[in-house]
Structure 1
C-alpha cells in the first residue's frame, strides 16, 4: 500500500513500490501553485498520486518536472495532459528515441536480447502493465539546458542538471526554503551498460554539483528521504573510490588497499559493491 507522507511544511511524497519499480512521486506546494516531481511509471501511478493529493486537501499540481528519461519516471506523463511538464532538453531527446517502441512481451524480450533494454525493467513493465499495454510516451512541453528556478509563491524550486552515470540527462530539484533536495536516481550506477558501473569523472563532477547546495534532507527515488549525514557518507564513498580509481589507473589491488586503509577494516558489502561498479567503469 502506497502512503502519502508529509515530509515538511511544503513537501509531500508517495512511497515507492519495488516490485513494479514505482519511484517516489513528490509535490512541493507554495502559496500560489504546486510542483509535481516525476510523472510515475504508468498513468495509474500518476492518477493514484493525484487522488492522494486531493484526499489530503493539497492543491493540485500546475506543473510537473521530470528528473530523467527512464520509463519509471515518465510513463505516467500521458495522464497529466492538463498541466505543462518541464525537463532538460537532453531528457526530451532521450524520450523521443523510445516513442516509436512497442511494449508487448515479444518486443521487450527482443530489446533485452539486443541489450537496449534491461531485464529488470522489462520484468517490472510486465508487472505494472499485466494486461493492456497501450503505453504512450508523451514529451515534456518545456525544456531547458542547465538550470531553471520555479517560483511557487514563497517557495522556490531550483531544477538543475547534474548528470551522472545513471542518466546523463538527470536533474535534481532543490527546495530552497526547506533545504531539501530531490536526488531522484542520481547516486545510482549506469544500469544500461553491459555491466552496472560508475565512471570516476562523471561521478566526481556530479557530486561537485550536488554538494554545492546547502541541504539537510535528500530524497532518493527508489528508497526514502535521508539525512545530511547519511548522504555525506554515501557521497564520500563514491568520491573516494572514484579518486582512488583515478590515482591508481584502475588497479584493483591498489584501489582495494587504499579503501581498506581509509576505512580501517575489510570492505563492507556496500564498499565492495562500489568498488565493483567503479572497476566495471574503467576505461
Structure 2
C-alpha cells in the first residue's frame, strides 16, 4: 500500500504500509510479519524484511528502525546510523517511536498491529519522518515532536510539510475505558486552546454503548495534533482502512488477542 500522490510527485520517494501477505512466516504470524519482538522465528522476519527492501528498490542495509515503547522520543538518523535495528533489536534506536532523516538510501521503518502510522515529507529540504502513535504516543503528541524535530534539524517549515495517517484501528473498533480518557481529555483542552479544532465540528471520541467506555478515533486525534503543529489541513492525507475490521489484510493486536504479526510503515528517499 503506497502513498501514491507523494511517490508520483517524487519518483525517488518510497512511502507506504505493508499488508500481512507475501512473506514466509508461519501462523499465527502468517505471513509478512516484519517485527522481531512478537515470537516469530528471526530468520523468517529477516527474510520478510529483505523482501520488503528489495521490492522497494533499496539496499538490504537501508532498513533502519527503533525499539518502540509507545513513547514520544524522536531520533535523528544520520548516514552512520543506516541499518540500525535491521538484524536485531539490540542495535535499533532504543526507546524510540519517531525517526527523521534527510539521508538518501535510508529506509525508515516502524511496526504496527493497530497503532497509528504517521508520515512526514518535507519536499523543500528533502527530509522524511515516521512516527508510531498508540494512544500513549498520541497523548504525548509525538506528531508535534516530529514536526519540531524536523524544524530544528532541517529548517522544515510546517506549512510546507506533507503528512499522512496510515491504516490503524478505527473508531468503531477502538473502545477504551475512563483511565485512557482521563489522559485524552487534557490533550483535547490543549488542542482547543491552540485552535487546532476550535469549533469542535469533528470530535475524536464518542460514548460507547457499554457503560464507562468510549470509542476513540486515534486517526482524527492525530490529524488535529498535526494541524496544531502547523501542518496545513489540505496537506494531510488520511486513510479509512481499519486494521481490526480487515484482518484478512492486516495484523490486529486486539482482534487477534495479542498473538499476531506486525505490519511496517516505511519512508525513504532513494539515492540518485
Greater helix proportion:
1
Greater length-normalized contact order (CA 8 Å, ≥ 6 residues apart)? 2
TM-score range normalised by the length of the shorter chain: 0.3 to 0.5
